[in-house]
Amino acid sequence: MVGIQVNMHEAKSQLSSLVEKVVAGQKVTIARAGVPVADLVPHQDKQVVFGLGRGEQLPDPEVFDGPDEEINAMFYGQNP
């Protein structure tokens, strides 16, 4: 991936064109006094479902594995 580095002032004044470069696949790094401080990257949708929702999806077991007895005890005073 080809990339460019721009200073903060240039990034503020040319944000639209820099976003277009990112959309086209170019890496854009923003620098302050020549030191890289941020990268512009394409947005990535990530959806995590924790309960029944619009699509009536069940929770992803990789993300949510149900109630934790120890945490319930800490919050609600229940014995684990």
Instruction: Map out the domains of the chain as residue ranges.
Output: 3-40, 45-80
Q: What pTM does this model have?
A: 0.54
User: Rounded mean pLDDT of 50-79?
Assistant: 71
Q: What is the pLDDT of residue 79?
A: 59
| Rounded distance between C-alpha atoms, residue 51 and residue 34, angstroms | 46
pLDDT band at residue 66 using 50, 70 and 90 as cut-offs: confident
CB count, 10 Å around CB of 6?
A: 19
Q: Which residue blocks in 1-80 are alpha helix, DSSP H?
A: 8-13, 15-23, 69-76
Range 3-40 has CATH code 3.40.50.10860? no
Percent share of the chain, pLDDT over 90: 49
Among 9-13, 33-37, 49-53, 64-68, the range scoring the smallest mean pLDDT is 49-53
Give the mean model confidence (pLDDT) for residues 63-69. 75
